[in-house]
Amino acid sequence: MGSNEGVNTICPYCGVGCGLTLIAGEEPGDVRLQPWFEAPVNEGSLCIKGGASPQVVDHEERLKEPLIREGDSFREATWEEALERIVTEFERIEQEYEPDAMGFFSSSKVMNEENYLLQKLARRYGTNNVDNCTRMCHASTVYTLRQSLGAGAMTNSMADLEEHGDVYWVQGANPAEQHVIAHSNYFRQATLEGATLIQIDPHANKTTRDADIHLQLKPGTDIPLLNIAIKTILEEELYDQAFIDERTRGFDHLEATLADFDMEAAADICGLPLEDIQEAARIYAEADNAAIFTGMGMSQHHCGVDNVQNEVNLALITGNLGRPGTGVNPLRGQNNVQGTCDVGAMPNVLPGYQNVDDAEARASVEDVWGFEVPPEPGLTNVEISNAIGEQIHGLFVMGENPVMSEPDALEVEARMADLEFLAVQDIFMTETAEFADVILPATSWAERGGTVTNTDRRVQLMRPVTDVPGNTRHDLDILCELGTRLFGDGFDFDGPEAVFEELREVCPIYHGMTYDRIGFEGVQWPCYEEGDQGDQYLYAEQFDTDDGLGVIRGVRHQEPAEVEDDEFPLVLTTARLEEHYNTGTMSTRSPTLSRKTPENFVDVHPADAAARGIEDGEYVVLRSRRGEIVLEANVTEDIKEGVVWTTPHFADARANTLTNDVLDPLAKIPEYKAAAAEVEPVSESPASADD
């Protein structure tokens, strides 16, 4: 496919959705990158991950042949043998148990069309046990925004925020490292033009350098901090009474919840001066246009739904919704995590966020699909993993790595080993694939086409630039083949555009889109009819709730499920690095991205290090009630005293060995951001300690 003509596509990493141009060489996988200056989101700019993204395409460790387990090892197999083995096992599990004995993991690394096909396949099989990685990152945000405002996505767009925003309230997020181009092109540019940036995070980071105010709170205290802000606004009458009266319900509940709220005591819980929180609240409330940006520091708690609800409360009482430069805006992690949810790869919703237990919604998709959809919501991915050996006996994993990504990872690993059947579809031999019975070699981001949806609801086209390597197959072709072998009909599609045409028929928020209309600019949903331009911001007239009103609901502080004690006196929290990404499947294989940070480390406050005799740069044991890892200590005041901070990217020192698998009862998201821990020095490096 070698050509000097560039192909415009979308970066495979974060949810910003940056465009780039690829040029193919003479051999499969031989691609080089150049800027796409007309790309609507980034106008040619790329971060270090985007610049290094071609390095995984022709990586020497790419899977290129189907593999079948024989004993403790794998052998190469034909596609016929591999697919038939999967079909045989699917049919056996259904007959021996029931359809709900299978689970399906979808992936935000692949296209909307492929995720749509996988959730359709699961439901044709007879189960709603299908989920994706949003369960691990923003499930509580999606849940809360749907319940309180109507749509589980950013209310606004980067472009209108830069142009109209006066104050950015960034809580539990670090866009300068995790959404780099959004920060450099929008946040930083806006601050240079006079906007105020307020950051709330237990860890000082690259975003902090551009912040006017940094509130370095203790992990797990976001609710009391926001309650201080809201109480201050109420007492000083900085709220928007007209907006509250006309556009919301529940204000009385909020007032009652905070009637006896002690702001001084709450500030002590947060570990912050009361006046600092109050000053931030006044700046937000008095702005002409103020926008909230929320990240996994808010969502990844057992009270994640309440955390995000309090952000919604703050926006609603000040009237900061329904116009440019305002809103509640989750910064989504992967380049298609928004789209994966949009197309129904979740256990409780069908395409377009139609509830699976709604008979009318089911009927609307059944008319197109030609089969009945199970009426009860299925299990989430963590619930699927926890049910292995009991309800769950088989698992199909497309492009995900739960052995690395799920909390209490040693238990996850043990359960994966107990599965009767595991099929993995991926481009590398992941930590999860090592437990598989069948591995299907799939295609990388540069080898396939389809649509992805970025963090501000923009549906964009990815375009293939190079041929598939070896004996790999496109993810879409694999799913079509499996569906046809299993069911005979309903999965015969001639490429991704044909799949998209069916998708938009059953997905109301995509209904007005076509590939031609998406073009190079993309379209922001909702787009209900052909010709619609899509919405840059939502809720100008009313919210998409039953009565059109935004829901205010007062919430109270809940301690993390696991608090410090004598054995584990520190709080462990985690977050991503600029140079790496999620479970590291792609980023740790990139020489460029691994150069600066080749292995994991833990940030320790100088006072905590001194108390334990830890020197900067030496190896330490970081442990919790679930396990321990050995990694390098970085002694720094960037982290709050009493807190330790590490990353989830490295298999040799898996942070999720330590994290807590307790779930938010509504969104079912794990509490990654707060676990009791201890750190102590070791005299040996990891290499010698393993001998």
> Does the pLDDT at position 641 exceed 50?
yes
- Which tens digit of pLDDT belongs to each residue from 109-164? 899 999 999 999 999 999 999 998 888 788 899 999 999 999 989 999 988 877 78
State residue 685's pLDDT score: 54
Over range 523-532, report the average pLDDT.
91
Over range 404-411, report the average pLDDT.
90
> Does the pLDDT at position 484 exceed 80?
yes
State residue 31's pLDDT score: 85
Which band of pLDDT confidence, cut at 50, 70 and 90, is reported for residue 198? very high
State residue 625's pLDDT score: 96
- Which tens digit of pLDDT belongs to each residue from 577-609? 888 877 878 888 888 888 888 999 999 999 999
- Portion of the chain with pLDDT greater than 90, in percent: 78
Domains of the chain: 7-56 (2.20.25.90), 67-135+342-350+360-524 (3.40.50.740), 155-330 (3.40.228.10), 570-689 (2.40.40.20)
- Which tens digit of pLDDT belongs to each residue from 494-503? 999 999 999 9
Q: Higher confidence at residue 584 or residue 49?
A: 49
Both structure tokens of 233: 């606004």
State residue 579's pLDDT score: 83
Q: How many residues does the chain have?
A: 691
> Does the pLDDT at position 678 exceed 70?
yes
Residue 302: HSE in the Cβ half-sphere, 13 Å Cα cutoff: 15
Which band of pLDDT confidence, cut at 50, 70 and 90, is reported for residue 684? low
- Portion of the chain with pLDDT greater than 70, in percent: 98
State residue 188's pLDDT score: 86
State residue 688's pLDDT score: 43
Over range 50-69, report the average pLDDT.
91
Measured CA to CA in angstroms, residue 53 lies from 174, 453, 579, 651 at distances of 21, 18, 11, 20
Contacts with 477 (C-beta within 8 Å, 6 or more apart), sequence order: none
Over range 549-558, report the average pLDDT.
97
The amino acid sitting at 532 is: D
Containing 592, the helix (H) or strand (E) segment is helix 591-596
In DSSP terms, which residues pair with 621 in a beta bridge? Answer: 630, 680
Model-level pTM?
Answer: 0.94
Containing 289, the helix (H) or strand (E) segment is none
Residue showing tokens 């598939």: 468
Both structure tokens of 628: 């321990």
Which band of pLDDT confidence, cut at 50, 70 and 90, is reported for residue 235? very high
> Does the pLDDT at position 518 exceed 50?
yes
> Does the pLDDT at position 680 exceed 60?
yes
Q: Do the strands 438-441 and 67-70 form a parallel or antiparallel pair, or are they unpaired?
A: antiparallel
Cβ 381 vs Cβ 136: under 8 Å:
yes
Query: What SS3 class is residue 635?
Result: strand
> Does the pLDDT at position 30 exceed 90?
no
Other C-beta atoms closer than 10 Å to the C-beta of 517 total: 17
> Does the pLDDT at position 1 exceed 60?
no
State residue 686's pLDDT score: 53
In DSSP terms, which residues pair with 317 in a beta bridge? Answer: none
State residue 691's pLDDT score: 38
Measured CA to CA in angstroms, residue 419 lies from 177, 372, 554 at distances of 37, 28, 43
CA 189, CA 200: separation in Å to the nearest integer? 20
State residue 689's pLDDT score: 43
Containing 346, the helix (H) or strand (E) segment is none
What are the backbone angles phi and psi of residue 343, rounded to the nearest 5°?
-90, 5
